[in-house]
Amino acid sequence: MEHRTGGILLSGWQEAWRGSLLHKLWAFLGLAWKESIFRSLLLAGGNFSMRAAQGSIFYRLYLGTRSLPAYWRDSATYRLVSWVGARASAQQPILAGSLFLQKAPLERLPVYLALLFPFLSTPTLTILVFLGVLLFLLGRLARGERLGPFRLPYTLFLLFLAFMAMATAASVLPRASLLSFVLWVTYGLLFAWTAQTFTFYPQALRTGLWAFLGGAFLVAVIALLQGWVGVDTSRWIDIDANPGLRTRVFSVFDDPNMLAAYLIPTQAAGLVLLLSERAVWAKGCALLLTGTVLAAQIETFSRGGWVATLVVLVILGGLWKPRYALFIWGAMALLVFGLFTLGPSAIQVRFQSLLGGGDTSIQYRFAIWQGAWQMAKAHLWTGVGLGPAAFALTYPAYMLAGTLAAHAHNIYLELWVEAGLPALLLFLVFAASMAVLLLRGSLRPLPLSQRLAAAGALAALVGLLVEGMVDNIWFSPRSAMALWWLLGAGLAAQEGKVPS
C-alpha cells in the first residue's frame, strides 16, 4: 500500500514539473544552446584542436613513449643484456660448486678496505674496488641470492655517469679525462658495493664503522706527530696573516685540506659509535679514537674542515636526541665559543681570518672562482673534460693575472667546468635524494645504531658539501672514497634490517 502511494505521488510531481513554466524555460534554453553559433564554434574548435594535437610533435612523442618497451625489447642493447643475464644464470650451478665463493667472507671485504684505503695508492684502491665488486657479485650468484633493493640514488648516479661519459668524449684531453671517468665509476661501485654488503649483512655494519674509525685514528696519530715534531709546511701558511702558525698537519695525504676532507666522514663515524655503543669500555675506546681524530682536524688549520666539523656536530647532535636538540646545540655553541676565544692564538687568528677575509688564500680563491666562472659560462653544457689535466690546459685562457690553479677550489664550479651544467644539476639531485633517504632513516623507529649510522652519513654528506664551497674535495681520491664508503653504509642502515 505504501509503495503504491509513493508511486502515485512521484507521478504527480513529474506531471506538475512537465507542465510548469520552469520546465518550459529549461527546454527552450536547451534548444537554443543546441542551435547556437557558440556551440558550433566550440565543437569546431574542439575538432580542430584534436586534429592539431594529433598532428603535433608532442602527440607523436607520446605515441613513441607508449611503444618504447617494444623498441627496447627489439634493441641490440636489450638482447646483449638478456644474453649476459642468461649466461650468468647458466653459470650459477658451476659457481655454486666453488667452495671459495661459498665460503668467501663477502661481508668483511668493505671492512678491510675501510681500514686500509688511507694508506693505499689510487690505482691500488681502484683495482681492489673492481675486484671486490666482482667477487661480491660472483659470491651472491653462487649462493643463489639476489641483489637489491635499488633506491632512486642508484638511478640518478647512473644518469650522472652518462653525462660524465659525454664530457669525457667531448674533452679537450680525452685520454686524460678517461682516467678521471674511471675514478667516478670507482666511486659509484664503492658506494653500491658498501650499500649492498651492509644491507645483506647488517651485522657487519658495526665492525665496518670501527674499522673506518680505526684507519682514521692511525692517520690522525701520524698527523699529530707531525705537529709535535714541527714539520715544515710554510708553503700552506700565510705568515703575515698568521704569525703564530708554524705547522699545518697533512699526515699521509698531500695537503692539509685533503686530510681535513678525509677526517669529516671518519669523525662522523666515530661520533656514531660514541653515541650508540652501550658497553662502557666501547664508549671509552670510541671517545679516545674520535677525540684523536678531532684533534688532528683542528691541527690541519683548514677553515673549511672546521666549518664542516661544526655542521657534523650540529646535525648529529640534533638527530641523536631531537627533543633536546636546542640544549645540545647551546652546549656546543658554548664549547666552540670557548675554543675560538680562549684557545691558542693561532686558532683565534685563523678563525677570525675566515670572517675578516684578510688571508691571501681567501683572496686567491676569489680570483680563481672568477676565472672558473668564465670557463663555466664558455663551456656550459659539456664542460672542458674531466680531470686536472683538462682544467690546467683550459684555465690559463680565463684566469686573472697571476692566479694559476690546478682546480677550481669549489666542487660545484669544478663539476660545471669539467662536465657541464647538466652533470652538476644531476649531482645535486642525487645528493638531495640521498639526504632525504638518510634523514628519513635517522627519524624512523630503528635501533639506535642504525638510526645514528644514517644520521652520521647525512652529517658527513652535508658537511662535505659545505666544505666543497671552498675546496675541491674530489681532488684527493682517497678523501673522496671515505665519503662514498660512508654514504653506502648509511644507505644500508636506513633500510632498517635488524642484525641477526
Q: Is residue 327 part of a domain?
A: yes
Q: How many structural domains does the chain have?
A: 1
What was the pLDDT predicted at 259?
A: 94
Dihedrals phi, psi of 265, to nearest 5 degrees: -65, -35
Does some domain include residue 14? no
Q: Which three cell numbers stand for residue 460?
A: 658527513
In a domain, 64, yes or no: no
Query: Looking at residue 11, what is its pLDDT?
Result: 59
Residue 63 falls inside a structural domain? no
CA angle at residue 48 from 47 to 52, to 5 degrees?
120
pLDDT value of position 334: 87
SS3 label, residue 61: helix
* 45 occurs within a structural domain: no
Residue 243 lies in a domain: yes
Query: Which distant-in-sequence residues (6+ apart) come within 8 Å of 214 by Cβ?
Result: 115, 289
Position 46 scores a pLDDT of 46
- Residues of the chain with pLDDT below 50 are 1-3, 5-6, 9-10, 41-42, 45-54, 56-68, 71-72, 92, 94-97, 99
Residue 349's pLDDT is 78
pTM of the model: 0.80
Let me know if residue 480 belongs to a domain. yes
pLDDT for 58? 43
Q: Is residue 415 part of a domain?
A: yes
Q: Label residues 57-89 b or e (16+ Cβ within 10 Å = b).
A: eeeeeeeeeeeeeeeeeeeeeeeeeeeeeeeee
Structural domain harbouring 451: 152-493
